[in-house]
Amino acid sequence: MQLPVVYQKAKEQVCKIWTTLQPLLTVHVGLASSATALIILEQCGKNKGYQERDACGFHPEGACCMLDGPEKIESTINMKTLWKNVSVEGIDIILSRDAGRYICDYTYYTSLYYGNGRAAFIHVPPLSESVTAEFLGKALQTIILAMLEQCGEQRE
């Protein structure tokens, strides 16, 4: 599902995902236009600091995701373990604790909030000659399968 670059609409769709589909895990993928050959695994979402305006010219009330929410929410997926154990030939994978204060982080925090931490966020580079859609799809598949393995271990 493609989410709009609009805070309120993204929040509504994320809420709908959790209430209607009730997934085991939701994995969000966002574009990191400054990264040329880098996949970034985001560990946590932040609640405050959303001053930048979205595609419709708005920013969230109070510059935060949830007025009553905690300052940050950690994913139940251990991204550090993933980062250490998963490798994809031809692209570097790094770990991050700051997804930025725009739609990506806003969406991630919202999903972590509604999903009780059962969400993940991956920043990917733009498509290029070296990073094709097929290559990126296979890389994401490898990473997401490792995430699902962690979910299985948590359930046991």
Catalytic residues: 42, 104, 123
Which alpha helices (H) appear in 3-132, and where do they start and end?
7-16, 79-85, 103-114
- SS3 state of residue 155: helix
Q: Where are the alpha helices (DSSP H) in 17-132?
A: 79-85, 103-114
Structure letter (DSSP) for residue 45: E
